[in-house]
Structure 1
Amino acid sequence: MTIVIHWRSGTVLSVGRSWDGALEVDVRVDSDTVRALAYPLLVGTPIVGDRVLLNVNALSLGLGTGGYAMVVALPDRLPPDASFAGHAVKARYTPLQPVVLAADEEASPLRSVLSAADDLGGAPVVIADLHSALPAVLAGVIATRPATRVAYVMTDGGALPAWFSRTLSALRPLLVGTVTTGQAFGGDLEATNLHAGLLAAVVGLGAEVTVVAQGPGNLGTGTAWGFSGVDAGAAVNAVGVLGGHPIGSLRISDADARPRHRGVSHHSLTAYGRVALAPADLVVPAGLDPSLGVAESLKPLTGRHRVVEIPVDGLDEALRALPVKLSTMGRSLDADHAYFLSAAAAGRHAAALL
């Protein structure tokens, strides 16, 4: 088996924009200048003139979502050691494994309440395949019930650091908090797994509606089972086991040129139709083009799940009012309206259950 990492060493030429937990820098590598991303809490804060060690795999592969060189270390100016009460390790046994304080471990201020928590009390939980659905779901909740307390539970199917998401950074004022689960890290709260993360969101943060989705940069191979969003089905099961109300945000597209993603994506049909064993509400926005074949695609799922059609009045305006630019697979709100409308309808349904 071959594992490839393309390593480079370079010098910081300039420091660019920053957001929660992340900093862009331009780095001179040989005769080229590359754009790189640093996570200051992991590697320290680079400044002009610093020598940096880079992993340039994403640039070599021409990745879109993650098209940065990643700063691995500032070898000549290492950050100081920090004393810390946590002992939960994320990205375990990798060279950059961080130690975090899990929300339910002994030193956590939430330890007492979470150690006794075992149930979500029927709280609605919206589950989505892609990270790009998060702002749209949030728009649907806000448009329906503006003061709703919404938390985001980020799984580890995509980016591990929550800091990578500029979208999440811009949405933070609209959320009561973010919980990073599994190997993901960098949220307001950390959790060992999805079950603990759901309890941390509802019991620890007091969320009335919780949104579960992977971080940006999902992995897909174009095969029936080779996609990281398959975990959406497992999330339905986790919510059901904990006594929550699972709501499936369907991945519906009227613009994707790939047949497997047009109408209801095979990702949704596999995750909810074959992986999810607990019943869930699968939300369809009213007024979709019948040629998408949504109703017919969902018929095999109705034996276990409930298909709910939700009115969409006001949702387009709510989507356009968000503080972030909507984008999925490089397509904007207007370019793939059905996708974002479907996610917003799921948020509306969740808010209406309160």
Structure 2
Amino acid sequence: MLRWERATVGTSKTSWPGVDRFEAELEDGTTIPALAYRELTGKPVKGEQVLLNTNALRRELGTGGEALVVARTEALPEVEEITGHMVKARYTPQQTMVDAIDDPDGEHYDTVRASTDIAGMPVVVADLHSSLPAIIAGIRARRRTARIAYVHTDAAALPAAYSRTAARLRESELLAAVISAGQSFGGDLEAVTVHSALLGAKHVVGADVAIVIQGPGNLGTGTGWGFSGVQAAEALHAASVLGGTPIATLRVSGADERDRHRGLSHHSSTTYGKALLAPVHLPVMSPTDSRYNSFHESVRKQVKSTILKPAKKRGVVHEITEVDAKGLRDALEEMPVRMTTMGRTLAEDYPSFQYAALAGRCAADRLPTS
């Protein structure tokens, strides 16, 4: 079901590359916040009429706090001709044509076609988009000049442009590229699968580390398997079969009110303990670290009982990888983006970001020293 509403474009709000935000005046005179993807609709002009989809806004969904522009009724966006023929958001009314790195007509096709593996490149996978800047902070705390690519998967927000965080990280040159994989679109590079996105990260972008996470808008149901973050298992499988070094970010919280997410989240237990068919690194805080306390000991025990044991019964042997946390707080606070997860800030739920940063540092520790 789509909830349609007509509106007039009003005052512009804070925007970022690929996204235009503004106040929209409805037919009854009230105003609501609205968002347009320039790739799909062009740039809305103040005073013109637009058609909005207000589903998420009217349902008060956490991520979808704005109406989305479906069309500008008085203007058509300019058509930018491309050489490729790959379609994203396929068979929806707003399916979009892209130049993909694995498109036979694309400039990177020969490179991707000739690539067979990613030569041990560390691939850090997480289920929450809020982990992205924290993972980068962890990498940079050890290897400040590491070249990092972010693969935006299609389990949540399909438009890569929706991520204000990724846009800011690109502007700050903390990300070398955003690659939109699967049905997601709008990155610096497009890929048909996570596999080809990882090949592109290594051989087109020249990345030292790749990070794979769904976009904003994680979907959870409270059931054992009904959450979009389970897709992380597929990304870790891709990293493994391509000869990378798979690193699984633990979803941890010290402040979540829901028991299933306190300490080690059941999402990590399910994804890494039950869905994974390949061994991965599971970064935890080193017991020799002066910051190690009963909380970290509890997380470690949860990892052993809910991830290692179930996986081993299926013949998969993961590795608990101890990482020191020295300097990570400073590295996190230096990041040029606001750190929040599930509405909680760095100060309110530090462990959530700390464990993502540990995963980043784990990746940096596996880079060549020369």
SS of the aligned residue for 1:342 comes to helix
Matched, 1:155 2:153: yes
What are the superposed Cα offsets for residues 111-150 of structure 1, whole Å, 9 maximum, x if unpaired? 1111111101111000001000000000000110001011
SS of the aligned residue for 1:19 comes to coil
Contact 1:285 1:341 in 2 (8 A): no
Look up the match of 1:98. Answer: 96
The within-5 A match list for 1:53-68 is 53-68=51-66
For 1:57, give the aligned amino acid.
Answer: N
What are the superposed Cα offsets for residues 268-297 of structure 1, whole Å, 9 maximum, x if unpaired? 111111111110000112445424621221
Percent identity between the aligned chains?
49
Look up the match of 2:252. Answer: 252
Q: Structure 1 residue runs of 4+, over 4 Å off?
A: none
Look up the match of 1:8. Answer: 5
Contact 2:149 2:209 in 1 (8 A): yes
* Structure-1 separation of matches of 2:198 and 2:335: 25
Look up the match of 1:290. Answer: 294
Contact 1:230 1:271 in 2 (8 A): yes
For 2:254, give the aligned amino acid.
Answer: D
* Structure-2 separation of matches of 1:66 and 1:168: 17
What are the superposed Cα offsets for residues 209-235 of structure 1, whole Å, 9 maximum, x if unpaired? 110000001111111001000011111
For 1:21, give the aligned amino acid.
Answer: G
For 2:65, give the aligned amino acid.
Answer: G
The within-5 A match list for 1:293-332 is 293-300=298-305, 301-302=307-308, 303=312, 304-332=317-345
Superposition deviation, residue 66 in structure 1: 1.6
Look up the match of 2:77. Answer: 79
Contact 1:7 1:53 in 2 (8 A): yes
Q: TM-score normalized by structure 2?
A: 0.93
For 1:170, give the aligned amino acid.
Answer: R
Q: CA RMSD in A?
A: 1.1
* Structure-1 separation of matches of 2:178 and 2:221: 28
Look up the match of 1:22. Answer: 19
Look up the match of 2:86. Answer: 88
The within-5 A match list for 1:162-241 is 162-172=160-170, 173-241=173-241
SS of the aligned residue for 1:341 comes to helix
Q: CA 1:291/1:312 → structure 2, altered by over 3 Å: closer, same or farther?
A: closer
* Structure-1 separation of matches of 2:176 and 2:113: 21
343-352 or 59-68: bigger deviation: 59-68
52-61 or 294-303: bigger deviation: 294-303
Look up the match of 2:127. Answer: 129
* Structure-1 separation of matches of 2:299 and 2:340: 22
Contact 1:15 1:47 in 2 (8 A): no
Q: CA 1:266/1:174 → structure 2, altered by over 3 Å: closer, same or farther?
A: same
Look up the match of 2:115. Answer: 117
Contact 1:140 1:345 in 2 (8 A): yes
What are the superposed Cα offsets for residues 55-78 of structure 1, whole Å, 9 maximum, x if unpaired? 000111101222100001101111
SS of the aligned residue for 2:69 comes to strand
Contact 2:152 2:214 in 1 (8 A): yes
Which blocks of at least 5 consecutive residues in structure 1 are unaligned? Answer: none
Which blocks of at least 5 consecutive residues in structure 2 are unaligned? Answer: none
Superposition deviation, residue 47 in structure 1: 1.1
* Structure-2 separation of matches of 1:180 and 1:132: 17
Contact 2:39 2:186 in 1 (8 A): no
SS of the aligned residue for 2:213 comes to strand
* Structure-2 separation of matches of 1:122 and 1:206: 13
Equivalences, count: 351
